[in-house]
Amino acid sequence: MVDEPAVPANAAELLWSNMRLHGDADPVALFEQWHRALAVDGFLMFSTLGPGSLPELRALYRAQGWGEPFAPFVDMHDLGDLLVQAGFADPVMDQELLTLTWPDARSLLNELRGLGGNVSPHRYAGLRTPRWRQRMIESLQQQAVDGRPALTFELVYGHAFKVAPRPRMQAQTAVSLDEMRAMVRLSRP
């Protein structure tokens, strides 16, 4: 992915990420980056692809012996757990399946290519040949219903809040004066 400009810590009140998460090889680090950028009581909203995406493409690659066509997508329940692990609260997740069709396999491949790259470390290392592309087009066209090739996408939606940090309680707990002031400010209406 392209390096994005750094957002100052605790500066954003709303972070909205549309179809960005599945293109990142390290979603945990991305959630931590988002958590740092959000202010306390800030709101995160995102959409991403889920593991139910592109079963037609996975089946085609498996039948041809081509390996995996893309990195595995993270399940929405696991995303919710990762949000909590990164410090977010009250995550809410939902998903839906959409099936898109194209007039022909070439159009499908052109659009799919525009959606992004494959971040899988196990992806094919070299360049594919024109013969491989032609086999791909023919295979996609053979799967077509009424002449229109189709792909299914699982869209996952999530949102969560950044809450004020709570000091860890131990037998002896130390809280700095600045942390105390911040807690008092947040507790006032």
| pTM score, whole prediction | 0.80
Residue 3 belongs to a domain: no
- The boundaries of the domain holding residue 123 are 12-187
d(CA 142, CA 128) in angstroms, rounded, equals 20
Return d(Cα 27, Cα 74) in angstroms, integer. Answer: 9
Place of tokens 């992004």: 116
Number of structural domains (the chain) is 1
**Is 71 domain-assigned?**
yes
Q: Percent of the chain at pLDDT above 70? A: 92
- What's the pLDDT tens digit per position in 33-73? 999 999 999 999 999 999 999 999 999 999 998 888 888 89
CA distance 89 to 83: 8
Exposure of 141 in the CB half-sphere (CA atoms within 13 A): 11
pLDDT number for residue 58: 92
- Report the CATH number at residue 160: 3.40.50.150
Residue 75 lies in a domain: yes
